[in-house]
Amino acid sequence: GIQVEQSPPDLILQEGANSTLRCNFSDSVNNLQWFHQNPWGQLINLFYIPSGTKQNGRLSATTVATERYSLLYISSSQTTDSGVYFCAAGGTSYGKLTFGQGTILTVHP
Amino acid sequence: EPEVTQTPSHQVTQMGQEVILRCVPISNHLYFYWYRQILGQKVEFLVSFYNNEISEKSEIFDDQFSVERPDGSNFTLKIRSTKLEDSAMYFCANPRTDTEAFFGQGTRLTVV
């Protein structure tokens, strides 16, 4: 099955800084999603992005499917951005998602 | 925006007891999934359910687990005889109109 690796595993920032999180996947995908897991454990959808670039406020994401990676950009980080960011990939339409290990982001005021 | 709803939010059970976790999907999409997350670890796929049948399951999903759609709308995940290592957050998920999966808020299961 698909292997998903995320980097870095941990990231500590000062409020206002920018960051880039990376997700590498081992095979072609039909589904690539980014999630933010909040302190209550909820998985919040950030982006559905099997290819191309999307932006939503301070967050944007780019997936280069031919090179099998995706990037999540967070600009002007805020303390509320803290949490775990997961990338998940699926190889077939409506198939299971394979999650990466996550990036733990801590934003200090 | 409608959400995937899971109940209960937290359940504590004694080892060996049966537990039933419930989920109301956001849509009538034919696909439905269960995942679990052991504390501090990544989210792992358990089982996918398509048109009222299991379409794929992981090696975690052994004979102790079962999934049902008892009333045509809700979904359940049953663990027949819980073990300490079943303690985890359990998520259900289903797509809306495309392949993007939306997750419920999770049920935190603690086996003591």
Give per-residue pLDDT as tens, A70-100. 999 999 999 999 999 999 999 877 779 999 9
Mean pLDDT of chain A: 95
| A102 reaches B (C-beta below 8 A) | yes
Contacts of A29 (CB under 8 A, 6+ apart): A2, A50, A65, A68, A89, A90, A91
Burial class (CB in 10 A: 0-12, 13-18, 19+), B22: middle
Cβ distance A102 to B42 less than 8 Å, yes or no, reads yes
Mean pLDDT of A44-69: 97
Which pLDDT belongs to residue A1? Answer: 87
pLDDT-derived band at A62 (thresholds 50, 70, 90) equals very high
Residues of A in contact with B45 (CB under 8 A): 96-98
Q: Is the pLDDT of residue A47 over 60?
A: yes
Strand order in the sheet with A4-7: A4-7, A19-25, A69-74, A59-64, A52-56
Task: Pick the more confident residue, A101 or B51.
Answer: A101
Which pLDDT belongs to residue B22? Answer: 96
Cβ distance A99 to B56 less than 8 Å, yes or no, reads no
> How close A87 gets to chain B, by Cα (Å)?
10
Which pLDDT belongs to residue B1? Answer: 54
**Closest by Cβ to A43, choosing from B58, B98, B103:** B103
Cβ distance B89 to A101 less than 8 Å, yes or no, reads no
| A94 reaches B (C-beta below 8 A) | yes
**B106 contacts B22 by C-beta, under 8 angstroms:** no
Which pLDDT belongs to residue B52? Answer: 82
Cβ distance B103 to A48 less than 8 Å, yes or no, reads no
Residues of B in contact with A86 (CB under 8 A): 42-43
Please name which of B43, B46, B38 lies closest in space to residue B76, comparing C-alpha atoms.
Answer: B46
Which pLDDT belongs to residue B2? Answer: 58
Residue carrying structure tokens 């409020």: A15
Token pair for A70? 């995706």
Which pLDDT belongs to residue B39? Answer: 94
> How close B97 gets to chain A, by Cα (Å)?
11
The 8-class DSSP code of residue A19 comes to: E
Contacts of A67 (CB under 8 A, 6+ apart): none
Give every residue of chain B whose pLDDT is below 70, as ranges: 1-2, 27, 97
